[in-house]
Amino acid sequence: MDHAPDLASPAAWWRWARQWRKTRLVDGVDRIAVLEHVHEGGELGPRYAFMVVMSCGIAALGLLQDSAAVIIGAMLISPLMGPIINLGMGLATFDLRTVRESLRTLGAGVALALAIAIPLVWLSPLQEATGEILARTRPTFFDLLVAVLSGLAGAYATITRKGETIVGVAIATALMPPLAVVGFGTAVGNWDIARGAAFLFMTNLLAIALSVTIVARWYGFGGDDTPKQSAWQALLIVGTFVLLSIPLGLALKRIALQSQTELTVRSTLDAAAAGVNGRVSALRVDTTGEGVGVDAVVLVPTHAAGLEARLQRTLGERLGRPVAVRVREVLTADDATVARQQGTLAELKRSVLALQDAESVRAQKQQAAQAQQARVTAALLPYLGRLQRATSGPGWELWLAADARVPLARAQRIEREIDGARQEGDDPLRVVPALQGLPPIALGPATDDAIGPDPTQQAALEAQGWALQRWRAMRVDVVLAGVDDARADAWEQALRSVLSARGIAIGEVERRRGGEATLQLALPAS
């Protein structure tokens, strides 16, 4: 039965604590059974290799899909607890053989995991760095805390033989996903991701192993639990322990510096935001090389001019390193400002609705006018002619009605005016005059300057040639009356020039000496 020590005597407290540890902890553990069980769990065998491959493959797929549920599934089957516990126990008992076997088993597990993760990423169509991947590229204080607690819990569960499976999941949480991220970074050639994940993996591995060593020593495991070692073997084990502690110490230093930097940045930004009646909504701090990158979102009621420059100068002085600050301001407003804005928006809404009503009335009037114009056009068009799609080629054809009595020259001008007003993309329109007898062209008396047609007569020839082309005439007969041979030759030559340009041939040509000087064109009798 334990007796409370004399409170006034520290030496009595110390003796009582040693006695309590020996009777409650050390004497209550079957150390031989624990060591045999730990050694068996840390052996390299087919089951260990298979479970490493399966768990890392599932973890890699979960990371690529950004699926926490799949990653947890990989943790449930990870076998990494065995060699890590064995390593920590070997360090605690100064067993060089156990340390060597544990390191060999862990090395084989790492190689197998990378051998399955890298090909999976190569073959996968998903090769973007997801949030789950990026979360495991840089160790933080919380990651280290998870690893330490996992090691303490793993050692306790192994020594007391209680809840080892659950503890294995905790240890896998700290190790298997970072190891899969190392494979991802190697496969895609992103060495920053690979280095960061490898650093996290090694930090967690060493933290867990050394935590196991501490718990094992607390439960009384030591050199007496293994065969006697030579001096150089003991020295080698101690050296191994020190070498394993160096990376962990560097990681602790880096994590402590990162945490201190984040606290300084957070306090500085909070103070600056409070000075402008705002607050920091989101913050990200990156420590790369000698510099610090700060990306923050600040909620402010009004724009704070020069806030980013002031923060960059202040943080540079406090941290003693170059700092790049990026501040994105999100404007907020108080109740009075919101009320004013709502009133302005309501007034603007009323104005928009009024404009929409006026536009609707105008559109209705325009549609009514267009409908009336269409009705009038439809009513008048039969008196003018018939509008239809061209029978050959694109465009329209306006067949003038005979009752409209539109002269040939006027019909030709209508076509030219419509063609001149046509815009790009509009279909052409051809005017087809009503089929009629061609009027004679008065030649008039001959002059000394010219015996052929003058400009007015030439325009009449062009109009009749155009009409014949619209009627699709192939040949035309000619009657020349009241002119001599020289003048007849000149007019016949001018006529041939007009008609040949339109693909019309001249049939019979009749020359009459007497009568009024005229030129008469006629379609040949079929």
Q: Decide if 494 contacts 446 (C-beta within 8 A).
A: no
pLDDT surpassing 60 at residue 7: no
In a domain, 339, yes or no: no
| Mean pLDDT along residues 178-194 | 88
Averaged pLDDT of the chain = 78
Q: How confident is the model at residue 252 (pLDDT cuts 50, 70, 90)?
A: low
Nearest CA among 173, 154, 172, 162 for reference residue 214: 154
CATH classification at residue 487: 3.30.2320
The domain of 177 spans 10-257
In a domain, 152, yes or no: yes
End position of a domain, from candidates 332, 347, 371: 332
Q: pTM, whole model, 2 decimals? A: 0.50
Q: Are residues 202 and 305 in the same domain?
A: no
CATH classification at residue 102: 1.20.1080
> What pLDDT, on a 0 to 100 scale, did the predictor assign at position 166?
47
pLDDT surpassing 80 at residue 189: yes
pLDDT surpassing 80 at residue 1: no
Q: Are residues 323 and 204 in the same domain?
A: no
Q: Are residues 467 and 319 in the same domain?
A: no
Q: Are residues 251 and 297 in the same domain?
A: no
Structure tokens at 428: 């052409």
Q: Are residues 131 and 208 in the same domain?
A: yes
Torsions phi, psi of 503, nearest 5?
75, 25
Q: Are residues 292 and 186 in the same domain?
A: no
Q: Are residues 228 and 291 in the same domain?
A: no
Q: How confident is the model at residue 169 (pLDDT cuts 50, 70, 90)?
A: very low
* Residue with token string 């020996």: 22
Class of residue 7 by CB neighbours under 10 A (exposed 0-12, middle 13-18, buried 19+): exposed
Q: Are residues 217 and 107 in the same domain?
A: yes
Q: Are residues 224 and 322 in the same domain?
A: no
Q: Are residues 238 and 190 in the same domain?
A: yes
| Mean pLDDT along residues 463-483 | 88
Q: Decide if 519 contacts 480 (C-beta within 8 A).
A: yes
Residue 326's SS3 state is: strand
End position of a domain, from candidates 257, 288, 310: 257
In a domain, 53, yes or no: yes
In a domain, 328, yes or no: yes
Residues 382, 384, 387: CA angle, nearest 5 degrees: 65
User: Domain count of the chain?
Assistant: 3
Q: For 292-345, write each residue's pLDDT tens digit.
A: 778 888 887 777 777 778 877 887 778 777 888 888 877 775 556 656 667 778
Q: For 80-119, write each residue's pLDDT tens digit.
A: 878 888 888 887 787 778 888 888 998 998 999 999 999 9
The half-sphere exposure of 236 on its side-chain side, counting CA atoms within 13 A, is: 12
End position of a domain, from candidates 298, 317, 332: 332
> What pLDDT, on a 0 to 100 scale, did the predictor assign at position 115?
92
Q: Are residues 315 and 195 in the same domain?
A: no
Residue 486's SS3 state is: helix
Q: Are residues 326 and 241 in the same domain?
A: no
